[in-house]
Amino acid sequence: MDMPRLVTLEEYRTLERPSINWLIPGLLPKPGFVLLIGSPKAGKSSLALQIALAVAQGKIFLNKQVRNASVLYIQQDESELSWRVGKLDVLKTHGVSLAGPVHMVHPEDERRGLDILCSPDNIYLSMLIRESNAELVVIDVLRELFCGDENESGTMKAVFDRIAAATEGKAALLLHHIHKLDPRFPTPRPVDAARGSSYISGKVDAVWLLHDSTLRIQSRFGPDMTVTARRQPSGLFAF
Per domain, the residue ranges of the chain are 9-238
Return the pLDDT at 181.
Answer: 80
Residue 46 above 70 pLDDT? yes
Gap between the Cα atoms of 192 and 118, Å rounded: 29
Cα separations (Å) of 159 from 37, 67, 150, 219, 239? 17, 28, 9, 21, 33
54 closest CA partner among 44, 43, 69: 69
| Contact call for residues 218 and 224 (beta carbons, < 8 A) | yes
Residue percentage of the chain with pLDDT more than 90: 90
pLDDT of residue 1: 84
Mean pLDDT on 42-52: 97
- 3-state percent breakdown (helix, strand, coil) of the chain, nearest 5: 30, 25, 45
Distances (CA, A) of 1 to 4, 27: 9, 37
The answer, yes or no, to whether residue 185 has pLDDT greater than 90, is no
pLDDT band at 24 (very low <50, low <70, confident <90, very high): very high
CATH number for the domain formed by residue range(s) 9-238? 3.40.50.300
Average pLDDT, the chain: 95
10 Å CB burial of residue 54 (0-12, 13-18, 19+) is buried
CB atoms within 10 A of CB 171: 25
Question: Quick one: residue 62, left, alpha or beta (phi over 0 = left, psi -120 to 50 = alpha)?
Answer: left
Q: What is the mean pLDDT of residues 36-61?
A: 96
